[in-house]
Structure 1
Amino acid sequence: MAKVKDLIGESIVDKDGKKVDWETIAGKGKMLGIYYSAHWCPPCKKFTPVLAEFYKKRKESDKGKDFDIIFVSSDSDEASFTEYYKDMPWLALKFSEREAKANLSKKHGVRGIPTLVIIDGETGATITAKGREKVMSDPDGFPWPPLTFSDIMYNGDLLRNDGTSVKCEEIKSKVKGVYFSAHWCPPCRGFTPKLVETYKKLKESGKDFEIVFASSDRDDKSFKEYFGEMPWLALPLGDERKEKLSELCNVEGIPMLAIFDAEDKKITFDGRSAVSADPTGKDFPWLPKALSELTEDTAGSINSKASLVYFTDGKKESVEAARKELQPVADKEFNPDQDNQDVLFFYTGEDDDLIDSLKAFTNLKHKEPFIAIINIPSQEVTEFTGELTEAAISQFVADFKAGKLASRSF
C-alpha cells in the first residue's frame, strides 16, 4: 500500500470532503482508477456519465467491492472542480494538491483528457492506461487483466507471403519481432528494406529470430503487395491479435518493431531504433542499455520518458568523462523493463545537428559540459548546476525522482 500512497499522496477525499483512509481503498487484491478529466473539456463531460453508470454497476457487483476511482482534476480553478465533482460518485484528489496532480500526470504519461488509468491497489503498477476505451468497448470484461504476449499470439496460425500457413507454435522458442507497418505509410516503406537486410544477416549468421508483420493496411491487395516484399511471417489481415498486440506494445505510430525473447518477455518496444543503430545485428537481440549515446538512432526513447542528458563538447576527453561519471549512476537506476524506469540516461557525442536542435527546442544555452533532465512528454526541463561528479549526479537524480527540484517549461 505504501507504494500506492507514495504515488498518489494522502490528500484523497470523499464526496463530503472528508479525508479517505487508505486502508479502505488500497492494498492487495484491490484496484484503483485514476480519472484525469476537467469541467471545461467536452469529451470529458460526455464520458463522465458513462463512467458513472459503469462505476455504479461495478460497485453493486462482487467484482466492484475492491475497486474505486479517484478524480484528478485538470480544471483551472476550485469552483469549476467543485461544480464538476458534484456529479461524480467516486473519490477525488484535493484540488489544492496541484503538485501531486502534476506528478501523477507525468507518471502516467497523460497527454490528453479524459484519461482513465487502472492501477494495482497494492503496487501502483499500471494495469491499463486505456480504461476509457475499455469502459466504452468492453465494460463486462472488467477488471481487464492485462494479456501477455503468449496469451495473444498463440491463438491462430501465421502466414508466409506465398499464402501458406504456419503454426504459431513454430516461433515460440525464438526471439520474435512484431513489425507494425503498412503499405500506405512512407516511413514504413523507408524502414522495411533496412529491416529486410538486417533480418537476412541475422538468419545467415544462424540467429534464432523471426518477425511477424502486423499490418495496418486497409485492403487485401495492399497487404499482399507489401507483404510480398517481406521474407518473414505475418498475421492474417484483420486478425484480432493485431489490435491486442498494438495495445500490449503501446503502439502510437508506425513503423514500430517490438522485440520479445524466447520466453515471450519484452526486450524492447524500440526495435526500429535498435536496427537503425545496429544494421549488422552485432548487438542482437538488442537488450536495453543503462547508458547510451544520444544519436538519431537512439533519440526515439527521449520522446516518451524523462531523460538525463550529459551534454559534452564532442571531444574525446569530454565524452570519456561523461561516460565515467554517468555509467555508475545509470547502472544503479537501470531497469531492463524501461517502461518502469523513472529516468533514462544519455550522453552526447558529435551529432551536432541533433544536439543543436534539442538545445534550441528546450532553450538550453549553457556552455558544455552540462547536464539536464529533459521531459518531453510534460514539456519540462530540470537543469543541473552542481559539480559534474558521480555523487552529485546521483543526488540530482534522487532529488528529481523525489519531486524536490524546480523545473521550467519549454
Structure 2
Amino acid sequence: MAPIETRPSADDVLQLLRGVIDPELGSDIVELGMARGVTVDDDGAVDVTVALTTAGCPLRAQIQKDLKARIGGVPGVSSVKISWTEMTSEEKSRAMAKARWHARDRAPDTEIPATTRVVTIASGKGGVGKSSVTVNLAVALAAQGFTVGVMDADIGGFSVPRMLGLGGRLAGVEGEKKIIPHEKQVGDGLLKVVSMRFLVDEEESAVMWRGFMLNRAVQHFVEDVRWGDMDYLLIDMPPGTGDIQMGLARMLPRAEMLIVTTPAVGAQKVAARAADMARKTFLRIAGVIENMSSFTCGHGESYPLFGSGGGQALADDIGSPLLGQVPIEAGVSSGGDAGAPVALGDGPAAEAFRAIAGRIVEEAIPPVDMSGCSARLLQNVEAALGPA
C-alpha cells in the first residue's frame, strides 16, 4: 500500500489531466469532458476512463502516451490503466462547441469587423471553378447592395483580380503598417479586394513560397488590411487542405464554409475532404454549390458532360444544403478573362449565381443586421464575439 501522504487523490489526477491536450480539438481532455471515472486505489494504481469523439480516433495513441507520461511519473503512482469509451452525439456536440470557443480565445486580433460574415469558398481540389464561383457570388451579393470583401488566399495561383478587372499596387495607410484593399463599385454595393497579384510586379510572376511564408502572407491579409465595414468577406481558398487552410481556420474561427464541386464522383469525393477539414477545425459548412452541372446546346438539349448528382450526393453525405447548380456556359470563362463576371449579365449561369446569392442571404448565411443598435452595444457585441 502506498503511503496516504504520497499517494495522489482522484482530484489531483484530474488536475494533472488538464495538461493532456486532444491534438485534434486543441483543448484539454478535462475541459472537453473526455476524462471520466478517475480512481486511485490504496496501492497507488490509477484508473482513468477516456471518452473519445469516435471509437476509431486516430489520435488515441497520442492521448494515451501523453496521459501515461503525465500521471505515471507522479510519486505514489504505481500504475496507470486507461479504459476507453465513446462520446454520445450530444456529448460530442458539447465538446466541439467548447473547442470552438477556445479557438476563438486563441485567435489573433484582426481588422475584420465582428459583424462581418466570413465565408471560405473551398473545394479540396483544383479545376472545379472555385475562384469563378467566389467572384460571381461576390458581385451578385454586391449587386444586392451589400459591401463584400474578397480575399484571394490562393497565394501562388491568384486569379481574382483578373476576373474583376482590377490591377495596380495596394495603397498603405500613412503612419501605420496597414494596407487598403482595392475597391470596385457594383450597383449599390461595393467590393473590397486583396490579392497577392497586387503585391507582385507581373501577373505571370511565380510565387515560390513554402508553408511559413504562405501562412504569413495570409496572416498579413487578415491582420494588416484596413477592411472597414463589410457585410460579407468571401475567401477564395487554394486547392487542398494544407497550411493556408489550417492557418485561416485558426485565425478566423467564426468563419463558415461553402464547398464547390462538379457533378463528377471524383470531384465529389475530393470535396468531401474539405468538409472533413471543416469538421476538424470547427468551421460550419453552410452549403454546397455544384459548378459545371450541365451544358445546354443551341437546340435546348441539356448534356451532363461531367456526370450528374455529385453536388446533391455530397450535400447529403455531409448534411448541408445544395444551394444551387451552375451550368456550363462560355460566358463564365470569357467574362472572367475580360474582368466582367457573368453574374452581372443575363443567361442561365448569371441567374444561377444570383439565385445562390439570394439563398445565402435569406437562408444559409444571412447578414448581421445591427441597424438601430447603439455604439456601446456594438462595442459589447464585438467584445463578446471576439476575432472573426
Fold similarity call, TM over 0.5? no
Using structure 1 for the length normalisation, give the TM-score.
Answer: 0.29
Rg larger in 1 or in 2? Answer: 2
Greater relative contact order: 1 or 2 (C-alpha under 8 angstroms, separation 6 or more)?
Answer: 2
Using structure 2 for the length normalisation, give the TM-score.
Answer: 0.30
